[in-house]
């Protein structure tokens, strides 16, 4: 078996854009016409450029090669152009291609990927969602704790037992910073009202995006501690795990981090510094499924858990499910609400969600198939990136 062809899809994610403005999917095809799907997460270039990068890496390192040889392919791409470094753009490209290879390998073996990585440990996977806005909202759910508490109760009624929210405010190219007193007050009010709304029926996950210095994060954490969040997410920028460790030592709330990291080497620094109790690798950026499994194994040695990150499309979501199912130290899985809406429409068969849990598929490979007709009907035509930071300092 060898890889003979590649197709790419840049899919515009219709309003309300939950999961980002667009998704970049790749399909690999073998000489035996077995197909595999992958997805790249959040590269810092326009997706038309990302497509050219994916095609270039495929032509240089994968075309004509056996998709089973994932370790060899990974090392060659990781070392491309004399790099051998955790380059986020290259790792995003590699992640999509590696993911598609696993889909092919699983289909060829007629096994779900989790059975090829040690076997299924978890029969169902606990999931959480952000508290999202709704069409017709009269206020901003991300800045209105009353509306957010009301929405939390609605999610609770749907079956969720864990909810994430981020009231800290914008993130910028100039973070970390000290939050204003008003931002600290609002964050504390969110935590208090959400805890009152859900009681002990749901965990609260306090999300941030590296907005603070370590000192500023500790100030906020001490206000949040009475409301017992399950985690405090990426409180400082991802480039200094030692500073993240300062926050971890300064609060009783578990620290979660990792969505902006790539490869086992980045995550080794987190573990060595004692920066996080929960690792949030995104399989569309970290280096793929096998790299995620290696990171999960490293974390297991340190008694650290994993919570695969998802703010992209359902192909990364499907890969996350495969990793979570076979990882003993899995904690919880991020989803986009109940994996419905466009995230279901873009697949021929939606991801199965029931009463707060995802049910791992028994189908071979990643257990999903891309609905290419839907993908082609929704091209991305804008110029904005998947996610963007504020260009100026936040006062």
Q: What is the pLDDT of residues 368-382, one digit of tens each?
A: 999 999 999 999 999
Count Cβ atoms within 10 A of the Cβ of residue 65 and give its class: 0-12 exposed, 13-18 middle, 19 or more buried. middle
pLDDT of residue 10: 98
46 carries an active-site annotation = no
Cβ 160 vs Cβ 132: under 8 Å? no
pLDDT of residue 232: 98
pTM for this model (two decimals): 0.98
* Catalytic residue (one of 122, 209, 343, 386): 209
pLDDT exceeds 90 at position 178:
yes
**What domains sit in the chain, N to C, each tagged with a CATH number?**
3-110 (3.30.390.10), 115-365 (3.20.20.120)
pLDDT of residue 276: 98
pLDDT of residue 139: 97
Q: What is the mean pLDDT of residues 6-12?
A: 98
pLDDT of residue 352: 98
Distance of CA 55 to the CA centre of its chain: 23
122 carries an active-site annotation = no
pLDDT of residue 58: 98
Report which of 260, 144, 261, 145 is spatially closest to residue 196, judged by C-alpha positions.
145
CA separation (Å) from 306 to 20, 197, 212, 231?
22, 27, 23, 12
Kindly report, residue by residue over 110-139, the tens digit of the pLDDT.
Answer: 999 999 999 999 999 999 999 999 999 999
pLDDT of residue 353: 98
DSSP 8-state code for residue 5: E
Kindly report, residue by residue over 301-346, the tens digit of the pLDDT.
Answer: 999 999 999 999 999 999 999 999 999 999 999 999 999 999 999 9
Confidence grade of residue 279 (pLDDT, cut at 50, 70, 90): very high
pLDDT exceeds 90 at position 6:
yes
Report which of 291, 323, 294 is spatially closest to residue 307, judged by C-alpha positions.
323
* Catalytic residue (one of 122, 309, 343, 386): 309
pLDDT exceeds 90 at position 395:
no
Computed over every residue of the chain, the mean pLDDT equals: 97
Identify the H or E element spanning 67.
none
Cβ 307 vs Cβ 323: under 8 Å? no
List all residues 6 or more positions away from 237 whose beta carbon is below 8 Å from its beta carbon.
Answer: 175, 176, 210
Kindly report, residue by residue over 50-86, the tens digit of the pLDDT.
Answer: 999 999 999 999 999 999 999 999 999 999 999 999 9
Kindly report, residue by residue over 256-269, the tens digit of the pLDDT.
Answer: 999 999 999 999 99
Q: What is the mean pLDDT of residues 23-49?
A: 98
Question: What is the number of other CB atoms lying within 10 angstroms of the CB of residue 84?
Answer: 11
pLDDT of residue 112: 98
């Amino acid at each position: 078996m060898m890889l003979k062809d590649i197709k790419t899809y840049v899919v515009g994610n219709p309003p309300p854009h939950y999961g980002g403005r667009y998704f970049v999917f790749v399909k690999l095809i073998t000489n035996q016409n077995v197909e595999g799907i992958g997805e790249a997460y959040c590269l810092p270039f326009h997706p038309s450029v990302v497509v050219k990068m994916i095609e270039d890496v495929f032509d240089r390192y994968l075309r004509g090669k056996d998709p089973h040889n994932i370790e060899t392919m990974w090392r060659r791409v990781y070392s491309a152009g004399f790099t051998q470094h955790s380059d986020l753009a290259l790792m995003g490209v590699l992640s999509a291609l590696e993911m598609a290879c696993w889909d092919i390998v699983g289909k060829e073996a007629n096994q779900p990927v989790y059975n090829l990585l040690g076997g299924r440990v978890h029969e169902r996977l606990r999931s959480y969602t952000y508290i999202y806005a709704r069409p017709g909202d009269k206020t901003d759910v991300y800045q209105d704790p009353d509306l957010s508490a009301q929405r939390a109760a609605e999610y609770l009624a749907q079956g969720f037992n864990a909810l994430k929210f981020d009231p800290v405010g914008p993130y910028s190219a100039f973070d970390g910073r000290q939050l204003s007193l008003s931002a600290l007050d609002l964050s504390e009010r969110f935590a208090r009202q959400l805890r009152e709304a859900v009681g002990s029926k749901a965990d609260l996950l306090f999300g941030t995006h590296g907005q603070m210095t370590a000192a500023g994060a500790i100030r906020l954490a001490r206000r949040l501690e009475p409301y017992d969040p399950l985690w405090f997410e990426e409180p400082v920028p991802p480039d200094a795990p030692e500073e993240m460790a300062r926050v971890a030592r300064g609060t009783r709330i578990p620290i979660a981090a990792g969505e902006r990291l790539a490869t086992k080497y980045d995550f080794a620094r987190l573990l060595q510094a004692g920066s996080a109790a929960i690792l949030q690798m995104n399989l569309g950026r970290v280096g793929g499924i096998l790299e995620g499994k290696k990171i999960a194994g490293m974390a297991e040695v340190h008694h650290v858990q994993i919570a695969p990150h998802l703010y992209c499309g359902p192909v990364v979501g499907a890969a996350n499910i495969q990793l979570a199912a076979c990882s003993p130290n899995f904690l919880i899985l991020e989803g986009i609400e109940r994996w419905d809406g466009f995230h279901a429409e873009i697949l021929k068969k939606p991801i199965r969600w029931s009463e707060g849990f995802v049910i791992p598929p028994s189908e071979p490979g990643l257990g999903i198939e891309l609905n290419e007709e839907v993908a082609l009907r929704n091209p991305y035509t804008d110029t904005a990136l998947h996610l963007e930071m504020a260009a100026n300092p936040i006062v």
